[in-house]
Amino acid sequence: MKSVILRKGANMAMTGLMLAAALAVLVPLVLIFVHIIKMGLSSISLDFFTQIPKPTGETGGGMANGMAGSAVMIALASIIGLPIGIFGAIYLSEYGGSRISTVIRFAADVLAGIPSIITGMVAYTLLVVPMKGFSALAGAVALAMIMIPIILRTTEEQLKMVPGSLREASLALGVPLWRTSLKVTLRSAMTGVMTGVLLAIARVAGETAPLLFTALGNQFWSSKLTAPMAAMPLQIFNFAISPYEDWHRLAWAGALVLVTIMFALSLSARYFGRSRQKN
Amino acid sequence: MQNKVKLEQLNVHFGATHAVKDVSMDFFENSVTAIIGPSGCGKSTVLRAINRMHDLVPSARVTGRILLDDKDIYDKVADPVSIRRRVGMVFQKPNPFPAMSIYDNVIAGYKLNGRVNRSEADEVVESSLKRVALWDEVKDRLKGNSMELSGGQQQRLCIARTIAVKPEVILMDEPASALDPISTLKIEELIEELKEKYTIIIVTHNMQQAARVSDHTAFFYLGELVEAGETRKIFTTPDKKQTEDYITGRFG
């Protein structure tokens, strides 16, 4: 009898311990949100979304150019990264099976784990040095290099989950493998692929290090892809390390907006994932 | 009777497994040939060899010849895609494309190949669905989801999709084994009708079904062809003891 009580007590203790550990995951997230909202919310105004930063000494101003710059570079990075990631994944999932696929898969996993500052240095060497100047293009390439392995691996996983019977149905109708892969397999996996793409975008939206030596940042509006361009994470970084109180407030507001955007992206990724399961 | 498909010393290996051993036999035009045998006897493997479905399995190796109208489909210059347009296939589990409507499923063979002509498409959809006796059941919801159809309707939809691209040979891999008896009966009646225009090869587990729908029957055991001939003869006076034992239910 005693042993039963002991056993039940041990079970409860361990359950409590594991629950506490699981809850601990939430703590940093809640702390980040609470703190950023507290510090940033008061500085959010219409100006923040429409103005560019004011010169030192003047109060007010916003991060409109940073948001636009981030949007441009993420869009450009997606244009580069999506086809490479998705087509590469189709090769691995639908055509692969040879040794080269194993090598590519391993390389993608290593690439995904490379510190993003190194990705930035690679883009610097490949683009900034030969083009003799920092540029939005170099920033986008650096971001694309981070996106590609994420998109490649998530897309491959999604394609592998498509039942073989659909591929066979298409092939048996005399549809070539490449058309089958694009129009049947990829299409069936599309919602899952979109989830991976959104997660990749959420990941690079907050990247600062790869942009330091590539896009550099810009205090003004710039739409030239070959010139330095502002980006939200860069502006947050620059404002946060500046000595001015007003810029600190902008940095907090920027942090709040960035975290909100990433939160929204993750939520929509989950929504996509959910609607796929329903089918 | 005109021979349409001819197997000549067909061998299929999967890695170290020798799944089909030295099979030679004929399939005749406008007739139904049933392939029977216990699980794992290689009957589906033979069927899939006839439209080169094994091409996608890296470990699969096919040797010997398969003649379609006297041309070897495994010849170096033969193109698997054009062969599959001539040799259609219906699978064990109904597999309509879930993201497509009923209409789009029927026309999928054209649509996926990027060559659809609106008025022609309407005609193909209607005639194909009529041919499989599904038209009256779905004509009011052609744009509806194909997954809302019953299993038997889905399988007839898959057959409509197959005949829409006008093949010459139709391979059926246990097409009714996932269906209820009434749906099975409809599929069997359909097979009976389809043989007027097509050469049909059907793999089945169900011996009564083979006896009901086929003109010719081939009995496979452990990857080898034991006996092939007219269905009536195979089911009444088979030459081989093994065939008789299987038909009478003594093993398998």
> How remote is the C-alpha of A30 from its chain's centroid?
20
B88:A170 CB<8 A: no
**pLDDT tens digits, one per residue of B1-55:** 789 999 999 999 999 999 999 999 999 999 999 999 998 899 999 999 999 999 9
For residue A98, pLDDT beyond 80: no
Q: How far apart are alpha carbons A39 and A41 in whole angstroms?
A: 6
CB B161 within 8 Å of CB B187: no
For residue A215, pLDDT beyond 50: yes
User: How much is the pLDDT for B45?
Assistant: 96
A175:B114 CB<8 A: no
CB A214 within 8 Å of CB A135: yes
Task: Indicate which of A175, A181, A186, A191 best probes the interface with B, i.e. most B CBs within 10 Å of its own CB.
Answer: A175
B97:A171 CB<8 A: no
For residue B202, pLDDT beyond 80: yes
Cβ atoms within 10 A of the Cβ of B167, count? Answer: 23
**pLDDT tens digits, one per residue of A249-267:** 999 999 999 999 999 998 9
User: How much is the pLDDT for B251?
Assistant: 72
User: How much is the pLDDT for B99?
Assistant: 87
Question: What are A's interface residues with B at a Cβ cutoff of 8 A?
Answer: 97-98, 163, 165-177, 179-180, 183-184, 187-188, 279
Q: How far apart are alpha carbons B189 and B212 in whole angstroms?
A: 10
CB B167 within 8 Å of CB B4: no
Mean per-residue pLDDT over chain B, rounded:
94
**pLDDT tens digits, one per residue of A52-74:** 998 877 888 899 999 999 999 99
On chain B, the residues whose CB falls within 8 A of the CB of A169 are 91, 95-97, 108, 158, 161
For residue B118, pLDDT beyond 80: yes
pLDDT mean over A92-108: 90
A169:B93 CB<8 A: no
**pLDDT tens digits, one per residue of B213-242:** 999 999 999 999 999 999 999 999 999 999
Closest CB from B58, B84, B96 relative to A172: B84
Q: What is the pTM of this model?
A: 0.87
From B27, B24, B28, B29, select the one nearest B10 (Cα to Cα).
B24
Closest CB from B85, B97, B113 relative to A166: B97
Q: How confident is the model at residue A278 (pLDDT cuts 50, 70, 90)?
A: very low
Mean per-residue pLDDT over chain A, rounded:
92
Alpha-carbon gap: A233 to the closest alpha carbon of chain B (Å): 40
User: How much is the pLDDT for A276?
Assistant: 53
User: How much is the pLDDT for B63?
Assistant: 96
User: How much is the pLDDT for A279?
Assistant: 43
Alpha-carbon gap: A164 to the closest alpha carbon of chain B (Å): 10
For residue B60, pLDDT beyond 60: yes
From A257, A219, A259, A213, select the one nearest A235 (Cα to Cα).
A219
B108:A173 CB<8 A: yes
**Residue A139 corresponds to which tokens in the numbers above?**
């920033």
Phi-psi domain of B88 (left: phi exceeds 0; alpha: psi -120 through 50; beta: other): beta
Positions of E strands within chain B: 3-14, 17-28, 32-36, 60-68, 71-72, 87-90, 169-173, 199-203, 216-221, 224-230
For residue A146, pLDDT beyond 50: yes
Alpha-carbon gap: A161 to the closest alpha carbon of chain B (Å): 14
On chain A, the residues whose CB falls within 8 A of the CB of B105 are none
Q: Pairing mode, if any, of strands B224-230 and B216-221?
A: antiparallel
User: How much is the pLDDT for A272?
Assistant: 78
CB B156 within 8 Å of CB B133: yes
